[in-house]
Amino acid sequence: MWKLVALPSVAAMALMLATRVAAQAPLSPLNVSALAVSQPQMICEIDLATLKGELRRLSWSPDAAYLHLQTVEDRTIAHDFIIALEDRELSVAFGEPEWAAAYWARKSDLAAPGLPSLKLEITQANRRTRPMPFTGGFANGGAQTPDVKNSVDAYEAEVTLRLAGVEIGNWINGAPLAGETFGWGPTGSGALTFVDRQGRLSLVDERRRTQMAAGVKGAWMPAWSGDGARIAFLQKSGRRRYRLMIAAVTAR
């Protein structure tokens, strides 16, 4: 069970050094069908009743030794936390580290890191979901008379994100949050990890090849480490509880 503690000075120094770690060298485009995703391991429990707010960001440090978790309370108050993967302990962070902000900007961009011509496709649609009821002689060929005592037309707004035609995010009557359902892979890989409508964790590349992580359900906010070796994600375990999970990514 994790505990909430102040960030130790040694860890704080490590985080400062991590902000200076150079970015990994760009990779060649990945074939995700040649990759294997291991059985995920739990790092710690996330209890939003304790942390407060709603989950907003999950980011890797450049050296892949830490994860940054951010929650937002009342839509404006951000709370930041650091998870040290070596001891699996969650600690308070005083503000979002620079490396976390940089990672999130890259992870959630519409364009693939290192491949600016490869971009996510956005489609929007508005549909009528409930027709206006009518009274009078409509069934008998009479005039269409709206029934003012009943509900009028209802519409729903849908936003869908796709990479090379593969759906990686879908929102109906909700505000899309960048990076909520997907995260780009290493720079130059042209691949990303995403969560489908059933909460299953998958990989997809620019040539539409896919790879699904076996046995993963209820996944959310996937984050692929900069070196390509691991994927972190949150897995719902209760009303306001999540497990922070990590799966290794290896070549077959």
Q: 61-113: per-residue pLDDT in tens?
A: 999 999 999 999 998 999 999 999 999 999 999 999 999 999 999 999 999 99
Report which DSSP code applies to 148: T
* Six token digits for residue 122: 């956005």
Average pLDDT for residues 18-46, to the nearest whole number? 78
Q: Which residue has the higher pLDDT, 139 or 194?
A: 194
Q: In sequence order, which residues have a C-beta less than 8 Å from that of residue 143 and are 6 or more positions away?
A: 136, 137
> Does residue 211 register a pLDDT over 90?
yes
Average pLDDT of every residue of the chain: 84
For residue 113, how many other CB atoms are within 10 A of its CB? 22
DSSP lists the bridge partners of residue 201 as: 195
> Does residue 23 register a pLDDT over 50?
no
Q: Which residue has the higher pLDDT, 58 or 94?
A: 58
Q: What is the pLDDT of residue 20?
A: 40
Q: Which residue has the higher pLDDT, 67 or 137?
A: 67
Vertex 186 angle, CA 185 and 188, to 5°: 105
Q: For the chain, what percentages of helix, strand and coil (3-state, to nearest 5) are there?
A: 10, 50, 40
Phi, psi of 157 (to 5 degrees): -105, 130
What's the rounded Cα separation, in Å, for the pair 139 and 136?
8
Q: 216-244: per-residue pLDDT in tens?
A: 999 999 999 999 999 999 999 998 999 99
Q: Which pLDDT band holds residue 177 (cuts at 50, 70, 90)?
A: confident
